[in-house]
Chain A
Amino acid sequence: EPEVTQTPSHQVTQMGQEVILRCVPISNHLYFYWYRQILGQKVEFLVSFYNNEISEKSEIFDDQFSVERPDGSNFTLKIRSTKLEDSAMYFCASSGGGPWDEQFFGPGTRLTVL
């Protein structure tokens, strides 16, 4: 069964450093998303991406964040200068049937900022 994959599974970084989180969505999907979940809290939307551009972003997704689809398979989230409060699980998701279709999540990257 096709699935979303993410790397790395765990990233530890120092405050102020840049991190890139990588995702490979399900191959025939066209809609891509990043969500995050701070420990003990609910899953929160960060950004959606379609047709090589951002279609929507949340207030959390400020200038420190960017997304890119550098090739036909990868979808990346970059945080330019990490803060302590960026520590969270970051989930990539993809959807194939349309913007209101079911979204399938990857296993997540646990980001720890020290």
Chain B
Amino acid sequence: RKEVEQDPGPFNVPEGATVAFNCTYSNSASQSFFWYRQDCRKEPKLLMSVYSSGNEDGRFTAQLNRASQYISLLIRDSKLSDSATYLCVVNGHNTDKLIFGTGTRLQVFP
């Protein structure tokens, strides 16, 4: 089983749509969870940390289910500028190294 698994997409959605991405991770001892965004040939940029209680930042909502080892990201009212690859990231067991998923590509069209 891959350490962090994501559907690679692409997800093609119209502006204004709501889109959800899912991710599963294999290490139940992971302690920190993040969503990063990566534009083509650029660095990963932190979108949001993910907490057990769930958290929201504007149009973005992240959820964590530790029992199922599952993380989700919901984007409401998609904008053209949301087009990017969304990376699910967790830390390892007793370590601060980040383990990245392969990313889910989102394309928002007019």
Contacts and interface: CB of A to CB of B under 8 A. Distances in A.
Interface of A: 31, 33, 35, 41-45, 48, 55-56, 58, 89, 91, 93, 95, 99-108, 110
Interface string B43-57: 111100100000000
B101 A42 contact: yes
A104 B46 contact: yes
Interface string B10-49: 0000000000000000000001101000000111111001
A48 B42 contact: no
A91 B34 contact: no
Given A42-B102, A42-B103, A89-B41, A102 B96 contact: no
Range for the number of chain B residues in contact with chain A: 20 to 34
Interface in B51-110: 87, 91, 95-103
Nearest to B91: A100
Contacts of A107: 42-43
Nearest to A91: B43
A21 B100 CA distance: 22
Q: By CB atoms of chain B within 10 A, which of A42, A58, A107 has the most?
A: A42
13 contacts: A33-B97, A41-B102, A42-B100, A42-B102, A43-B98, A43-B100, A55-B96, A56-B96, A93-B98, A101-B32, A103-B98, A104-B46, A105-B43
A93 B36 CA distance: 13
Contact of B97 (A48, A91, A108, A110): A48
